[in-house]
Structure 1
C-alpha cells in the first residue's frame, strides 16, 4: 500500500497517510465537546458511537484515544459531522491537541500509545 505525503494539512500534523485516503473516516463529534481544532486527539464513547476529546480517565470509552480530528468543528451545542484520521497514519506531536485532562507528558505518552494501537504513529519532532 502506498502512503501519501500530506503537506500543510491539519496544521501540518499529518505527515503521511494511507493511499486513497483510507486513513480517514467520517464521524460524529458529540454535542458539548466545544470548539475543536484540527489535530485534536479523539476517543469513541461506546454507548453513543460519537467521538469526544480523549480523556485521561473514564469507563465509557472516552479514556482511550482512537483517532485524530482532521477538520475543525464547533460541537458546543450540537453534534457535528467531521472527518477523522483513524488508521494507517504518521503524525507529528507538534499540532496535536489533547483533552484537558491529558495534561502531562505521562498522560500524553499513554494517549500516543493508544493511537499506535490503532495504527496512528505519533513522532516527536516529525
Structure 2
C-alpha cells in the first residue's frame, strides 16, 4: 500500500492575521529551487528580491522579514508570489527555515511565532 503525504497548503501556517489584506504583499522571489508555503524569507539587499532566509549569508537574507504564503515552483527567472509581511500569528511547526534568530527578526515585523 502506498502512503501519500499531503503537502502544506497555501497559508496553512497562519493562525491569525490582520483584517482584510493588511498582512500580505505581492513580492518578487529570486530565481531558484521550488519553495513551500511557510518558507521563511529574507530580502536580498542588492536586488530587492526575496529569497529563503539564510543565517550564514551576507546579502540581506540573513535577516528574516517575511513568510511565503503559497508554494512556488522551481524557476530560472524571478517569480511573483505572495508573502505575509506583518501583523500575523503563525504556527511554528508549519514554517521552513525557522531558527531562534529568525523568530526574533519576524517579531520585529509583528509576525509572531506560536
| Partner SS, residue 52 of structure 1 | strand
Is this contact kept in 1: 2:11–2:69, CA < 8 A?
Answer: no
Larger strand share, 1 or 2: 1
Does 1:48 pair with 2:47? yes
Cα separation, 1, equivalents of 2:31 and 2:76 = 5
- CA-atom RMSD in angstroms: 1.6
Residue of structure 1 equivalent to 2:70:
71
Does 1:116 pair with 2:107? yes
Cα separation, 1, equivalents of 2:25 and 2:113 = 19
Any gaps of 5 or more consecutive residues in structure 1?
1-7, 103-107
Q: CA distance change for structure 1 residues 11 and 112 in 2, over 3 Å: closer, same or farther? A: same
TM-score if structure 1 supplies the norm length? 0.79
Cα separation, 2, equivalents of 1:61 and 1:12 = 26
Superimposed CA distance per residue, residues 49-103 of structure 1 (whole angstroms, 9 cap, x where no aligned partner) = 00000001222111000000001112432211000000000001011011xxx6x
Larger helix share, 1 or 2: 1
Runs of at least 4 residues of structure 1 off by over 4 A? none
Does 1:15 pair with 2:15? yes
TM-score if structure 2 supplies the norm length? 0.87
Tell me the number of residue pairs that the alignment of Structure 1 and Structure 2 aligns: 107
Q: Compute the displacement of 1:9 (Å).
A: 5.9
